[in-house]
Structure 1
Amino acid sequence: MTADDTYGRLDDDDYPAYTMGRAAEMLGTTQGFLRAIGEARLITPLRSAGGHRRYSRYQLRIAARARELVDQGTPVEAACRIVVLEDQLEEAQRINTEHRRAAPRHTAAT
């Protein structure tokens, strides 16, 4: 792996760059919370060669949203389901917008 490969990965939202301890620290939460949302299948961290959990920036954003909901009193399982549904809605809206842009525009006949 070259230095360019390594630096390029730092810009990759899906690159598992953060350890569980660092991820918990960045989110202001506990490692137990990260385990709980993993068990709820909200995020699935990759494992290092030594078996340690590694998280991407994208996963940290998802975890942060779940934490917001839990901090507001939502149970972890429900928070995870809400985040999944929000993500699905956002993707559906993105696809819908793309289809609208790609669809030919119809004009009234003269």
Structure 2
Amino acid sequence: MAAEARRTAADRLDDDDYPAYSMGRAAELIGSTPAFLRALGEARLITPLRSEGGHRRYSRYQLRIAARARELVDQGTPIDAACRIIILEDQLEEAQRLNEQLRDRTSDSSGD
């Protein structure tokens, strides 16, 4: 059972969605402040999970989003606008992915 627990813990290290980083560490990694991360949460761009003690915990995926927001803010974009831009970029990427899937299905079915 101990080996199984270790395997599960090791698997989490590769999981982009695992909330592995405390607020302080997350802010340090993206070169911002905890207040910036809180602002992203208030803007609903990212929603950190909470530890049993109630502390915010961030995943690598959330840190990539926060880093993108920081880039935009550093370029002079207001934080609310930066959050909206990131949301729209994400929606566009998803739409393009779905469009490509539909094209693939259409070309597969027309080739038969």
TM-score, length-scaled by structure 1: 0.92
User: How far apart, in 2, do the equivalents of 1:41 and 1:58 lie?
Assistant: 15
Indicate whether 1:69 and 2:98 are aligned.
no
- What amino acid is the match of 1:89? L
Structure 1 runs not aligned, ≥5 long? none
Following TM superposition, the consecutive aligned residue runs of length 4 or more in structure 1 with deviations greater than 6 angstroms are none
User: How far apart, in 1, do the equivalents of 2:75 and 2:109 lie?
Assistant: 45
- What amino acid is the match of 1:13? D
User: How far apart, in 1, do the equivalents of 2:94 and 2:26 lie?
Assistant: 25
Q: Alpha-carbon deviation of 1:97?
A: 1.1
Q: RMSD of the alignment, in Å?
A: 1.3
Equivalent residue, structure 2, for 1:82: 85
Per-residue deviation, residues 29-50 of structure 1 (Å, max 9, x unmatched):
0000000010000000000000
Higher mean displacement: 52-61 or 93-102: 93-102
TM-score, length-scaled by structure 2: 0.91
Equivalent residue, structure 2, for 1:106: 110
Give identity over the alignment, percent: 71
Structure 2 runs not aligned, ≥5 long? none
User: How far apart, in 2, do the equivalents of 1:10 and 1:98 lie?
Assistant: 30
Indicate whether 1:59 and 2:53 are aligned.
no
Q: Alpha-carbon deviation of 1:5?
A: 0.3
User: How many matched pairs?
Assistant: 107
| Paired residue secondary structure (1:2) | helix
Equivalent residue, structure 1, for 2:24: 21
